[in-house]
Amino acid sequence: MAGRVKESNFPFVRNSVLRENLDRVFNLILELITLVESGGHDPLTKSGLRKTIVIYTASIIEALLLFCLEEKKPQGGYVRTQKEFKISKRLYQTDAGEEIVVGHDVEQSVSIKLDKMNLDQATKLSFEHKIISKALAKRINEVRDMRNRQHLTGMDAVDKDYTERDLAFVFEVAKEVKKRARDISWF
């Protein structure tokens, strides 16, 4: 494969499975870039290849954010306060089958499972725990929006072309997140 990296591009990631997955996706991105830059593809095909690169790059960003969260608190320990309405008394049943009740919100702490998080959740939690800045969180959300255009059913217009500028932006954001992950892993 042209462009294949022999050494890990993520040597700071101690988890060998995650490191290998990151390297595999990174190498695939390099292959896709080679395809985009090789002549002979119509603009629509180039845009489609770039879109795939955006999707894969967003997955690297997501993995690195989750890596940062894990590095910051290796035993987990991320919790979220969740409110749940508890009914204490049922007062009246309506003809429509609805009930009039008395109750109150009960707050409880729920442990956050990092392996179940998506990019949006990982970005928010990373910002809350000062892993990333507000400006970087905003840029990551722009990448997420670009990535989410893979969901064709939710579009109200024809999918836009993905440009070299889009790739440059996504790569710059990934570079910032990677630098942050490398810095956190060496504390």
| Distance separating alpha carbons of residues 162 and 130, to the nearest angstrom | 31
Mean pLDDT of 29-40: 91
Contact 22, 63 (CB under 8 A): yes
* Position 10 pLDDT exceeds 70: yes
Query: CA angle 13-14-18, nearest 5°?
Result: 65
pTM to 2 decimal places = 0.79
How many other C-beta atoms can be found within 10 angstroms of the C-beta atom of residue 187?
6
Quick one: pLDDT band at residue 43, thresholds 50, 70, 90?
Answer: confident
Give the residue among 48, 107, 65 at the shortest CA–CA distance from 83: 107
| Confidence at residue 74, expressed as pLDDT on a 0 to 100 scale | 67
| Confidence at residue 44, expressed as pLDDT on a 0 to 100 scale | 86
| Confidence at residue 139, expressed as pLDDT on a 0 to 100 scale | 98
| Confidence at residue 167, expressed as pLDDT on a 0 to 100 scale | 94
Least confident of 63-67, 91-95, 157-161, 174-178: 157-161
- Beta strands, E only, the chain: 79-93, 99-111
pLDDT tens string 76-133: 677 777 788 898 988 888 888 888 889 888 888 777 778 888 999 999 999 998 999 9
For 20-70, give the secondary structure using H, E and C: HHHHHHHHHHHHHHHHHHCCCCCHHHHHHHHHHHHHHHHHHHHHHHHHHHH
Mean pLDDT of the chain: 87
Contact 40, 153 (CB under 8 A): no
| Distance separating alpha carbons of residues 138 and 19, to the nearest angstrom | 26
| Confidence at residue 1, expressed as pLDDT on a 0 to 100 scale | 45
| Distance separating alpha carbons of residues 56 and 62, to the nearest angstrom | 10
Name the 3-class secondary structure at 111. Answer: strand
List residues bridging with 90 in a β-sheet.
101
